[in-house]
Chains A and B, each alone.
Chain A
């Protein structure tokens, strides 16, 4: 093939493949930013119904300090979310109390002690547990856990902070275990080998080398567990008793923020105060989970940067 000497380059024209590449890039870029678009859209659509109400009509002092959630009372409804916030916090808190130690313990066992087939099987089991839908967990709380608690504690009602907390703990544990195990796995084997070469036992290696280097990842795992518990809806709706109440004991029934929306949205008239108050709760949920996820991301990033 004759090529021009000097001057313009031979064969340099923008062929079909060049244009196809540009088109593909544009389309894929659209896909790439869709996640951002959706997060913004979620905020916009929830805020559109609830933000105006939250800013101008809702008495925020009442919202955060009054335990009276009476959205339909006449003539003056009361929108106090304190009992709901306390409900959510107590359930999530109890769930974390139960599941964080177990999750991290299980992650250490699976990641550091177990080996070969045992480890594979345990990992698969944990993954399967994480897949059980939340409505099934709610059902288990209502139909299995509740009678059990009534027998054990000799109480008339089995749906309570304790019930929902245990259910939520069982739900969140597999997820936290998986993330925590990932964090342990991210510690380079070189660290372990160096410590073992100095004569450290397995447990000494874990405590003095693995856990400190995996600290940020473990914090992220716990945070994601908290976020998950905080936002859980169906299980909490069915297992908590769903009654507005400032709990004085773990055996008291409570009501959660998420469950309130799930239970009431279907019965409100679109655009009514009640309806917009529920969307205001949605804004609160969105904001809190956003911050939790952001924090978890910062910790995960910190882990990467420190390596």
Chain B
């Protein structure tokens, strides 16, 4: 493949030759793709295709995981994430939403205020402003505004997932990673979160790993299809669903023949 000179102005994230191993097992093989600013990139594929590993490599969670080994290049705004000396500052720019909602065992307020506090914001008024703004954007404010000091970990699944999104927003991220966020929440919450994501696209770049191909179709500008550690295909979502694809496996998966 010819090395293409990439224009950083049109790439938020450039991934080149990304390979991820867990011990001897290869989770992702030689993946290269670009993510453009303010797009939603959908990633679909059956279980164990390397989708989650892909997300974990972006914010360098491999360093916190025994046995996980990453090679290749991932550049955020043109700089290899591995060249950041302060990995924590890197992670602060990247919001993450997990498959299972994780309300930290802190109060709802402290859940959202945690990230601002970590970066040194301590005055009460600013924190209150951030908490209200983020919870509002995550469509949770009205439900919890009267009990901000009860435990975030005891909210319902759907509420916890919106709390997680509010927490990610409190980081003021420019990249938001979502890993099958709807797996443990009800359909109504899923639709509300999808609406939120459509709005957030104006301000940030979003990578949406999803187990629901229709979710990718509803939200993603472009969609990548991962299968058993390979990036089979990436292109405009419309093309994939209109069967303007090059690879037969993609059509098979989209039509539900496996996965």
Interface residues of A, Cβ cutoff 8 Å to B: 3-15, 17-18, 21
Contacts and interface: CB of A to CB of B under 8 A. Distances in A.
A9 B9 contact: no
A5 B76 contact: no
A305 B132 CA distance: 51
A122 B258 CA distance: 52
Contacts of B79: 6-9
Interface residues of B, number: 17
Interface in B102-135: 118
Nearest to A4: B77
B88 A17 contact: yes
Contacts of A8: 79
B115 to A, nearest CB: 12
Contacts of B92: 11
Given A15-B89, A17-B118, A6 B84 contact: no
A58 B89 CA distance: 64
B88 A5 contact: no
Interface string B65-91: 000000000001111000111101110
A305 B212 CA distance: 38
B118 A9 contact: no
B86 A10 contact: no
A18 B92 CA distance: 13
Nearest to A11: B89
B8 interface: yes
Given A10-B77, A12-B84, A5 B8 contact: yes
A17 B174 CA distance: 22
B77 A14 contact: no
Contacts of A17: 88, 118
Contacts of A18: 86, 88
A49 to B, nearest CB: 42
A13 B9 contact: no
Give the secondary structure class of A's interface.
Answer: loop
B8 A9 contact: no
A180 B79 CA distance: 55
B93 interface: yes
Contacts of B77: 3-6, 9-10
Contacts of B174: 3
Contact of A14 (B76, B85, B118): B85
B9 to A, nearest CB: 7
A5 B76 CA distance: 10
A13 B87 CA distance: 10
B91 to A, nearest CB: 11
Contacts of B83: 9
Nearest to A16: B120
A12 to B, nearest CB: 5
A14 B86 contact: yes
Interface centre among B84, B88, B89 (most CB of A within 10 A): B89
Nearest to B77: A3
Given A11-B92, A11-B93, A12-B90, A6 B85 contact: no
Contacts of B93: 10-11
Contacts of B85: 12-14
Interface in B1-55: 8-9
A15 B76 CA distance: 20
B85 to A, nearest CB: 6
A3 B84 CA distance: 15
Contact of B78 (A6, A11, A14, A21): A6
A56 B169 CA distance: 73
Contacts of A12: 84-86, 89-90
Nearest to B83: A9
A297 B174 CA distance: 50
Contacts of B89: 11-13, 15
B34 to A, nearest CB: 15
Contacts of A15: 86, 88-89
